[in-house]
Amino acid sequence: AQSVAQPEDQVNVAEGNPLTVKCTYSVSGNPYLFWYVQYPNRGLQFLLKYITGDNLVKGSYGFEAEFNKSQTSFHLKKPSALVSDSALYFCAVRDMGAAGNKLTFGGGTRVLVKP
Amino acid sequence: EAGVVQSPRYKIIEKKQPVAFWCNPISGHNTLYWYLQNLGQGPELLIRYENEEAVDDSQLPKDRFSAERLKGVDSTLKIQPAELGDSAVYLCASSSTSGVRTDTQYFGPGTRLTVL
């Protein structure tokens, strides 16, 4: 079985400050990891993914994420947050050893960036 | 490139009524997914199609939910009869190549269903 935990329901950060959204995962094999962002009344937008290779993955809108196998984590980061980054962020995992392309999502973290 | 299209965007019905949602995936994507998203939670897979075949429908409540993808492109998800607990956002997603496990899933805007 595969699972994802996003331990923070909400993260508050001042504009211009660094932003981190935490994610830990559990899979029986090697993971594929994804981050999505959801704005109000919108679908999920793909930000970035880790498949293999460099542990630091760069994605859209200045976001990046670091894969840490020993800590089974894939935290999302942005060096300088914008008010427009306020949204709901979802981490998702897929087990490389499992058949099909089934993603398991975390419960989401709401990010509020204050001016 | 056009994204995943869903309609309607919003639907309000009374309980026990039927409802249907439509999805048109990104052109060339042969894998299509329907997800259920409850308020403040992550999406949960209902059914996955590879072309016209439903290859994973283990989470679909088959007593009231049904889905089809007759020509391997558009898909329809139906609920009959709807219950109060079905109020949620129904998301459709697609990815490019079945069996390629690294494929990214791209999501539509969703249909927000309210059952009164």
Give B40's contacts in chain A (Cβ within 8 Å): 107-108
A25 at B interface, C-beta within 8 A:
no
Q: What's the CA gap between A78 and A89, in Å, rounded?
A: 13
B58 at A interface, C-beta within 8 A:
no
Average pLDDT over residues B23-44: 92
Please tell me which residue of chain B has the smallest CA distance to A43.
B109
The answer to whether the Cβ–Cβ distance between A43 and B107 falls below 8 Å is yes
Tell me what pLDDT residue A99 has: 67
State the pLDDT confidence band at A102, using cuts at 50, 70 and 90. Answer: confident
- Check whether A85 has a pLDDT greater than 60: yes
Phi then psi dihedrals of residue B74, to 5 deg: -65, 155
- Check whether B44 has a pLDDT greater than 90: yes
- Check whether A100 has a pLDDT greater than 90: no
Q: What's the CA gap between B110 and B113, in Å, rounded?
A: 9
The answer to whether the Cβ–Cβ distance between A43 and B55 falls below 8 Å is no
User: What is the distance in angstroms between the Cα of A46 and the nearest Cα belonging to chain B?
Assistant: 7
Per-residue pLDDT of A24-77, as tens digits, reads: 999 888 889 999 999 987 889 999 999 888 899 999 999 999 999 999 999 999
Contact between A105 and A6 under an 8 Å Cβ cutoff? The reply is: no
Per-residue pLDDT of B66-104, as tens digits, reads: 999 988 899 999 999 999 999 999 999 999 865 555 578
- The token pair at A74 is 């894939």
B59 at A interface, C-beta within 8 A:
no
Give B104's contacts in chain A (Cβ within 8 Å): 34, 46, 49
The answer to whether the Cβ–Cβ distance between B109 and A43 falls below 8 Å is yes
B45 at A interface, C-beta within 8 A:
yes
User: What is the distance in angstroms between the Cα of A94 and the nearest Cα belonging to chain B?
Assistant: 8
B42 at A interface, C-beta within 8 A:
yes
Task: Indicate the range of A67-81, A96-110, B102-116 predicted with least confidence.
Answer: A96-110
Please count the CA atoms within 13 angstroms of the CA of A32 that sit on its side-chain side.
20
State the pLDDT confidence band at A98, using cuts at 50, 70 and 90. Answer: low
Residues in chain A: 115
A106 at B interface, C-beta within 8 A:
yes
Cβ neighbourhood burial of B74 (10 Å; 0-12, 13-18, 19+): middle
Tell me what pLDDT residue A61 has: 92
Per-residue pLDDT of A17-34, as tens digits, reads: 999 999 999 988 888 999
